[in-house]
Amino acid sequence: MQDSRLEDAGIADRLSQSALHRRTMVDCQIRTFEVTDQPLLARMLAVPREHFLPGELAQLAYSDIALQLKPAGPGGERRTLLPPLVLARLIQGAGVGSTGTVLDVGAATGYSSALLAGLAGRVVALESERSLYNALRSNLDAFGLAKVQTNLAPLAEGAPNEAPFDLIFINGAVEANLEALFAQLTDGGRLVAIKPLPGDPTGRAGKALRYEKIDGATGYRVLFDASAPVLEAFRQDAQFTFF
């Protein structure tokens, strides 16, 4: 009985510490980066980021840096999780509607999908790496988000069988190959992603963009300065110019 009480106390202490870390992240990182959307801030306070990280990265869950995930098998693509402040600002700029349908591209282990699930009407999480997909599904189920649909497929193909989408959210940088995703947007739909600045020798300069589809045509506007690794599915061929 005593051991059980000690174990319960330990769990309660970890939960309390996690909530404190989330509050610090929101107050010191997210709010100071011009994120003012109250439902989004509440969602970031409610979702424990460490729940969606492998054990070796859990202690970095509330740091302000990008975190790199390693696929389980050889030859898999590494996936970099956006820093929480960049992720939050990108979600805010996307304008998530409470009744909208969202495609979360490059969902990795599910943190972005968990945030979006509390803001949108329906979320489809798309991942191309099988080991990350398995973690994605497991994490969402364990967090009580079985309603989030998960698809294992190439990222640039999107999820045509689930389209159209009011919002397509891309977790990383893109250079090209957005045509299939644009085709899956509703009229008035948005796509948000990070675009590297061409010719930047450091590879660290870029812009967060919000594309909008109106009457079949797609335009964009800049949301803020940001950088992220280019997702392989959206990498530009040397001879192709995209913008």
Answer yes or no: is 170 within a domain: yes
Residues 21-65 have pLDDT tens digits of: 999 999 999 999 999 999 999 999 999 999 999 989 999 999 999
Answer yes or no: is 157 within a domain: yes
Q: What is the CATH number of the domain that holds 20?
A: 3.40.50.150
- Name, in order, each residue with C-beta under 8 angstroms of 38's C-beta and a sequence gap of 6 or more: none
Q: Under a CB-based contact definition with an 8 Å cutoff, are residues 169 and 104 in contact?
A: yes
Q: How far apart are CA 158 and CA 126, in angstroms?
A: 7
Answer yes or no: is 23 within a domain: yes
Answer yes or no: is 229 within a domain: yes
Answer yes or no: is 127 within a domain: yes
Answer yes or no: is 243 within a domain: no
pTM of this prediction? 0.89
Answer yes or no: is 61 within a domain: yes
Answer yes or no: is 240 within a domain: no
Range of the domain at 96: 2-234
Overall domain count for the chain: 1
Residues 175-196 have pLDDT tens digits of: 999 999 999 999 999 999 999 9
